[in-house]
Amino acid sequence: MGRIPEPVVLELATLPREQVGPFLLLGLDKTADKETIDAHWAERLKWARKGIAKVPLEDINWAREMLGDLERRIRADAASLNVDTCDGTVAKLAERYGAREGRTVRTWQPLDREKALADYRLPAEVPDPDVVRAALTVPDIPEDFPAVSLLLERLVQQPLDPWAIEFPVPSSEF
């Protein structure tokens, strides 16, 4: 077994150990076996005691416990900040729930069912736009602003297309 290289210390924001994940805490690949886990765990303990690594001892021990239990290891693999987050997780879940190669029968049932969209109706009625326009009342405009009523009438006549609105982008920002 080769010597584990010295850690690269980065000054980053402190994240919870659950988010960092046991693989990164111990510097392991997703496919690490028990001997490799124990070797990295022992090395990380030495580094923590010497002050080389800024990881608390309790986090190092937590990482070893997480990787020792298969169920917790799979959950940590899926929930942590690892580059190869789904490495092996999908295969393990597929094997657990009966989606192996060559097997056509599932041992589980999906929670969601596909709906036929040809007969789909909105759950609420959409009102007619002319009825909505007729129900709107324009407030009285003060005589100090005679052009406002004309401008409001023209605005109501225009169809509203939110996708056609173009916002100016200041050239200094980009």
Map out the domains of the chain with their CATH numbers: 17-96 (1.10.287), 129-159 (no CATH)
Encoded amino acid at 88, one letter: G
Return the pLDDT at 18.
79
Within 8 A by CB and 6+ apart from 46, the residues are none
pLDDT at 82 over 60: no
pLDDT at 108 over 80: no
**CA torsion sign, 150 to 156 to 157 to 161?**
positive
Residue 15: count of CB within 10 angstroms of its CB: 12
The per-residue pLDDT for range 14-69, each reduced to its tens digit, is 777 877 788 888 888 777 889 999 999 999 999 888 888 778 889 889 999 999 88
Is residue 76 within 8 Å of 23, Cβ to Cβ? yes
Encoded amino acid at 105, one letter: V
Return the pLDDT at 3.
63
Residue 139: count of CB within 10 angstroms of its CB: 7
**CA torsion sign, 12 to 15 to 17 to 23?**
negative
25: closest CA among 52, 51, 64?
Answer: 64
Is residue 80 within 8 Å of 18, Cβ to Cβ? yes
* Proportion of the chain above pLDDT 70, given as a percent: 72
Return the pLDDT at 85.
45
The span from the CA of 123 to the CA of 65, in Å, is 49
DSSP class of residue 136 equals -
pLDDT at 13 over 50: yes
Task: Please give the residue that has the higher pLDDT: either 61 or 102.
Answer: 61
